[in-house]
């Protein structure tokens, strides 16, 4: 397939490489063009603008930091809406807001272009191993056209609805559920710790019985070892995701007190420890609040 790939950061870089390896033809664009060097060596072509990358593409794939970055490459005279031909498709794999997804879907529809939201679960190492989980939403025919890309990028994909922004709701919900699990573990560990049960023992019981899943094992280990730098996922980005989910909840008038707790923890975490600590340090805030050193 002829693919325009926009955004070659920690996630986008290895994803683009997997698409090249699967035999697709890539025109790539990145705000800092020097990050494209390795991909060009692997066979991709560097384009001057997102629109130029998209000109000959069946499909444009974007993997960017936030709403603003995605809107910058999509709208405007150099953007994907201007560059893609009618009938082509934009697959947005970034973690963005519902409002942003709805807006871009409308902008593409006005040019008879398709739009699929397909955010992912997984960190850069999972991206490199094509082991991402992909959560997709959009018109069924559009999603069918994406399937070869999903197969090259992830280990499994899920279709959650025919409105693209539904995929973003599910992705943000997953991040929220991770933070909720961290808060729960941290409260339990802190209470038990003050009664003389160490964190590792507590974690061993929980993952050995009821909570035998990677989230509890991996984040639990971070809480046990108190290692939050360098960040696998920065607190500032976690806070942003919780804000986007809260905004989606507000729009449909759903009270969400646990979401409120994790938002408050992340605000305090960023205020006290900086934007670049790992979001799992939310659990450290629990201990801090109880006067632990």
The Cα 142–Cα 134 span in angstroms is: 15
For residues 187 and 286, the answer to whether their CB atoms sit within 8 Å is: yes
Tokens 């800092």, residue? 32
Tell me: does residue 36 bind a copy of itself (CB under 8 A): no
Instruction: Select from 56, 131, 152, 256 the one that contacts a copy of itself (CB under 8 A).
Output: 256
Q: Taking contact as CB under 8 A, which single stretch among the options 17-25, 63-71, 82-90, 158-166 is the one that binds a copy of itself?
A: 158-166
The Cα 199–Cα 4 span in angstroms is: 47
Q: Which of positions 201-240 make contact with a copy of itself (CB under 8 A)?
A: 201-202, 204-206, 208-216
Instruction: Select from 73, 80, 104, 248 the one that contacts a copy of itself (CB under 8 A).
Output: 248
Read off φ and ψ for residue 214, nearest 5 degrees. Answer: -55, -40
Instruction: Indicate the pairing of strand 120-121 with strand 132-137.
Output: antiparallel
Q: Which of positions 87-146 make contact with a copy of itself (CB under 8 A)?
A: 98, 121, 133, 135
Q: Taking contact as CB under 8 A, which single stretch among the options 30-38, 59-67, 82-90, 178-186 is the one that binds a copy of itself?
A: 178-186
Tell me: does residue 161 bind a copy of itself (CB under 8 A): yes
Read off φ and ψ for residue 266, nearest 5 degrees. Answer: -70, -35
Tell me: does residue 176 bind a copy of itself (CB under 8 A): yes
Residues that are catalytic: 171
Total residues at interface with a copy of itself (CB under 8 A): 73
Kindly state the helix (H) or strand (E) to which residue 162 belongs, with its residue range: none
Q: Taking contact as CB under 8 A, which single stretch among the options 16-24, 55-63, 81-89, 189-197 is the one that binds a copy of itself?
A: 189-197
Instruction: Select from 152, 158, 232, 276 the one that contacts a copy of itself (CB under 8 A).
Output: 158
Query: For the purposes of burial, counting CB atoms within 10 Å of the CB of 253, is it exposed (0-12), middle (13-18) or buried (19 or more)?
Result: exposed
């Amino acid at each position: 397939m002829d693919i325009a790939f926009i955004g070659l950061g920690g996630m986008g870089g290895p994803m683009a490489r997997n698409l090249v390896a699967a035999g697709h033809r890539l025109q790539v664009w990145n705000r800092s063009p020097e990050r494209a060097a390795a991909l060009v060596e692997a066979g991709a072509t560097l384009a001057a603008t997102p629109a130029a990358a998209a000109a000959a593409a069946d499909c444009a794939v974007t993997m960017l930091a936030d709403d603003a970055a995605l809107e910058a490459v999509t709208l405007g005279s150099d953007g994907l809406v201007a560059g893609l031909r009618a009938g082509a498709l934009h697959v947005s794999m970034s973690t963005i807001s519902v409002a942003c997804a709805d807006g871009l879907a409308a902008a593409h529809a006005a040019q008879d272009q398709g739009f699929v939201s397909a955010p992912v679960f997984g960190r850069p190492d999972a991206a490199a191993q094509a082991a991402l989980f992909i959560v997709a939403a959009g018109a069924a025919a559009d999603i069918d056209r994406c399937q070869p890309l999903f197969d090259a990028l992830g280990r499994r994909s899920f279709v959650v609805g025919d409105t693209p922004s539904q995929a973003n709701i599910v992705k943000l919900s997953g991040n929220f559920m991770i933070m909720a699990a961290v808060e729960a573990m941290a409260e339990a560990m802190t209470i038990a710790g003050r009664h003389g049960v160490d964190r590792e023992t507590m974690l061993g019981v929980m993952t050995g019985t009821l909570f035998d899943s990677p989230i509890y094992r991996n984040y639990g280990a971070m809480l046990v070892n108190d290692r939050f730098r360098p960040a696998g996922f920065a607190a500032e980005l976690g806070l942003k995701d919780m804000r986007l989910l809260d905004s989606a909840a507000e729009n449909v008038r759903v009270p969400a007190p646990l979401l409120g707790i994790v938002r408050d923890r992340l605000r305090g975490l960023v205020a006290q420890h900086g934007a670049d600590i790992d979001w799992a340090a939310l659990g450290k805030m629990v201990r801090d609040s109880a006067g632990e050193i």
